[in-house]
Amino acid sequence: MSLQSILLIIILISVGLLLALLAVYVWVQNKLKGSQYKEQRRLKALLPSKPKERKWLELALTAYPILDEIPFVRNVLHRMRVRLTVIHAGNDTVIRSQAAALTIGIMACVLLLSIVSFLWTSSWFSRMSIVLVSVYLSGVLSDIFIGRLSKQILYDQSSMILDIRHQYHQTHMVLVSLENAAERSKPLVAEHARKIANILGAVDPQDELQKYYDTAPNRYMKQLAGVSYKIGEYGDVDIHKGEKSIYLAMLGNIREEIHLDINRRERIDRLLAGIVFVAVSPIFMLDPIRNWAESMFPIVSDYYNSAWGLYSLILLYIVFATSFIALRILKGVDGDAQAVKDEGKWLNRLLKIKGIKQLVGRITPAEHDALHLKALNRLKEANSSLTIHAYYLQKIIVSVVAFLVIIVFQVSIHQTIKHNVLEPNIAITTGGNQPESQRLLSEERYRFENSLVGELVAKDIPPDEASAYIYKNLQNKNYLPEGLDEAKYAAGLMERVEAYKSEYYKWYELIIAFCIALAFFYSPDVYMVIQKQIRKWEMQNEVDGFNTLSMMLSNFPNISVYEIIEWLHRYSYIFERQLLRCMLDYEAGAWGAIEQLKDDARFVPLERLADRLQVAADLIPVKEAFDDMEAERAFAMDQRKEHYEKTISTKSTLGKMFGFLPIQATFALYLLLPFAYMAFQQLSDLTILTSKM
């Protein structure tokens, strides 16, 4: 049967199936027009139906116990649960369902991209790269989900504070206002409003308030709980006499802080939307670019498999890793209190092992050494919670891992080059516009040369005997061209043999690996410098909140400096350790404790606030120390907005730079350099050819 007959049969079958489907469609449409079917649909619409999202969450909730039994998945599940607990105010059902749903999404992302990696490429190195990228993307997706929930809480909290203000205008009772506002608020914040109301009605409200501080979703909810407790416990001013309500003023200030935070988050998210996926996309482009280049220009495969090509690939992956880490820092540190608290936890666990602790102790500089003092200053300036021993353990781990990775890469580079010597790209020999008969002869010649070079390598034939061995094998080979210069041909094969034998691990490569490891030993110092700048943005944001909070608290009669510091400690996550130390030292002397706070913080805006606290502690009343802040509030808010503009602009610029860097590096190192190599190679061949003319 001819090809035309087969195509005609396929077309006739397709037309028949199409006509049958049209007939079924017309029959179904006639049935749907019946009154009985319409009545069934109307009655079904009256029945209560669950939203698709709720059905999915219920399904995820049933899967929670199963996920909790899987070793690796269990860690992800518990991590998601910890992050969601502070958002949903202890609503265990919602926490478990959303944690399970998020974990399923993360595992699905990793599994899907892992399957894609096996279908997309045959290189195990590329497959592992895609799998690692899938793990990175799953973390990004979880951050996006948690970030959206956090922003939604801020929006709902702003509306809830507006409802509390409305209720307080009517009742002048904090507890009743919170309960009534909870009935009108969104579920995400209504539970928090009820918790705050329960705190005010508890037997020991101060103890319950302290417990709530540990589970509050953000600093603004802590402020709302603290202010409500303060007013509920000590009362507000007499509004009927025309005095300005402290509670309403503080609610307005909190709402203003929330709006600033919302605008800042929204702008950063909008400017950096999708930039992570732009940065990740080149990982999937490497193999298609190489396959296209080798199919169109086979000679570039020599570059891809050479030492320079493989080292450029390593450099490209270093650019990828740097960009991914930088984007995660730019998008992840913003308000990430959990990251600040968890810093160095796993390092401290390793330091509990006796042998590791002794090794780190020998490498860490002595207490009065200049290097020791420099490291401590570096940690303080970056506001890092790492101890000096944890810091040096981090440097040791980074350098050792870098040394081992470089050694593995160097050995794999030698093995790849050896494989390319034995089996070069077949398209170099068989490519071009060769006729079919000539192409078959070229393939035979390609297999013969590879087999002969393999025998010379395997038998380790000396160079003086190799030529005779090659001449012997050249006899009666019809796929070799006539008039072949056997001496020149044998010399070419011997060059391949020598190239294979010269590929072994050399002593200077070990020195290179050691130097790179030494450079990585100092990489945490560079990271601390970067963290210092990035954390400075958050430190400024937090101190701006300190100023607003201190101004609000100064309006309370009989407020003490110690209480203000205590409130700042509850509000803080960056300066939490420094403020806690100040509280512990306060009894020994207020002036000295606040002076120590300035030395620990090493941040000028906080030092200015500490100056006010010092004066209020020993010389003048608290209200007088902060009386000018109300007058300067408008200017301070303008300064904050300008600071936010600079922060957003800087983050946007850096984010776009690191987001597009992988694409630029991919085209430069993986496309332009191979073509430049091909151009120089062809120019060299042309020079040799013209010199013989």
Q: CA–CA separation, 552 vs 362, rounded Å?
A: 50
Give the pLDDT band (50/70/90) at residue 511. Answer: very high
* 425-448 average pLDDT score: 70
Assess if residue 484 is contained within a domain.
yes
Give the pLDDT band (50/70/90) at residue 269. Answer: confident
Integer CA distances (angstroms), 225 to 202, 237, 486, in order: 13, 19, 92
* 68-83 average pLDDT score: 81
Q: CA–CA separation, 527 vs 535, rounded Å?
A: 11
pLDDT at 434: 65
Give the pLDDT band (50/70/90) at residue 274. Answer: confident
Assess if residue 430 is contained within a domain.
yes
The secondary structure element, H or E, covering residue 314 is: helix 307-332
Q: CA–CA separation, 448 vs 480, rounded Å?
A: 10
Three-class HEC string of 203-228: CCHHHHHHHHHHHCCCHHHHHHHHHH
3-state secondary structure of 131: helix
Give the pLDDT band (50/70/90) at residue 483. Answer: low
Question: Does residue 693 register a pLDDT over 60?
Answer: no
Question: Does residue 576 register a pLDDT over 50?
Answer: yes
pLDDT at 488: 77
Q: CA–CA separation, 113 vs 132, rounded Å?
A: 10
Assess if residue 653 is contained within a domain.
no
What's the pLDDT tens digit per position in 320-337? 988 888 888 777 544 455
Assess if residue 452 is contained within a domain.
yes
pLDDT at 404: 92
Question: Does residue 47 register a pLDDT over 50?
Answer: no
pLDDT at 333: 43
Q: CA–CA separation, 633 vs 257, rounded Å?
A: 12
pLDDT at 26: 62
Assess if residue 433 is contained within a domain.
yes
Question: Does residue 470 register a pLDDT over 60?
Answer: yes
* Mean pLDDT (the chain, rounded): 78
Comparing 179-188, 194-203, 498-507, 625-634, the range with the smallest average pLDDT is 625-634
Phi, psi at residue 403, to the nearest 5°?
-60, -45
Phi, psi at residue 190, to the nearest 5°?
-60, -35
Strand locations in 368-492 (E):
none
* 242-259 average pLDDT score: 81
Assess if residue 80 is contained within a domain.
no
pLDDT at 436: 66
Integer CA distances (angstroms), 230 to 374, 553, 556, 558, in order: 43, 10, 9, 12
Percent of the residues in the chain that have a pLDDT greater than 70, as a whole number = 82
pLDDT at 334: 46
pLDDT at 118: 79
pLDDT at 276: 85
475 versus 399: which is more confidently predicted? 399
Integer CA distances (angstroms), 521 to 9, 53, 146, in order: 71, 48, 34
Assess if residue 493 is contained within a domain.
yes
Structural domain harbouring 427: 421-501
Assess if residue 447 is contained within a domain.
yes
Q: How many domains would you assign to the chain?
A: 1
